[in-house]
Amino acid sequence: MRISNTLSERRRELGLTQVELSMLSGVSVPFIQQVESGRANPSVNTASALLSSLGLAFQITSLPPDWKVLSKLGVPIAEQPKQIEWHGKKSEVSLRMAYSFVLKNKNFVREREAIESYLIAIRDHYPTFFRRFKDLAPDLPKTLSGRLIKLRRISLGYLGKVL
C-alpha cells in the first residue's frame, strides 16, 4: 500500500483534518497535501512523524530472498535450473542477502544448508573467488554432515558452469 493512501485513509478514519495532522506531526499542511495526493515522497523521518501521529508505526523489514534467482546461480535449493547464470555484483548481493536471511530465520534449515554448501564449494574449489565472501567464513559450519557434502557436490556441478 502506498503511503499516500495509508496516510489519508487513517487520517479520515480518526476524524482528523490535514491542519490537525500538521499540528500533531510538525509537518506542514502543504507537504501533507502533496504526500496525500501522491506528488511528494516523505523522508523516512517525516513518514515516521506522520504515521506515529496517526498511531501507526513505520517499519523497515527484510524481504525474503528470491529463491528462483538463487537457484539460477546454482544454489541447490529446488529443481535443477535449465541455465546457470552469474551476474557479477548483483548475484553476490543476492547470495549475501539470502545467507543473512537464513541465519536470522531458523525455520529455513534446508535453504541454509543449500547456501552453506554453495559457499563451502566456492571456498574449497575457487579460493580466489571466495575472497569476496571471506567475511561469511566464520558463519560456515566447521564440519560437514553427509547432507552438506551431497549438496556441496551438486553446487560444484553448477559452479563449474559459471565460474
The CATH number covering residue 41 comes to 1.10.260.40
pLDDT of 135-147, one tens digit each? 999 999 999 999 9
- Does the pLDDT at position 80 exceed 80? no
In a domain, 95, yes or no: yes
User: Do 13 and 84 fall within a single domain?
Assistant: no
**CB burial string 11-47: b at 16+ within 10 A, e below:** beeeebebeebbebbebeeebbeebbeeeeebeeebb
In a domain, 109, yes or no: yes
User: Do 48 and 85 fall within a single domain?
Assistant: no
pLDDT of 13-65, one tens digit each? 999 999 999 999 999 999 999 999 999 999 999 999 999 999 999 888 888 88
- Does the pLDDT at position 127 exceed 90? yes
Residue 34, domain extent: 3-53
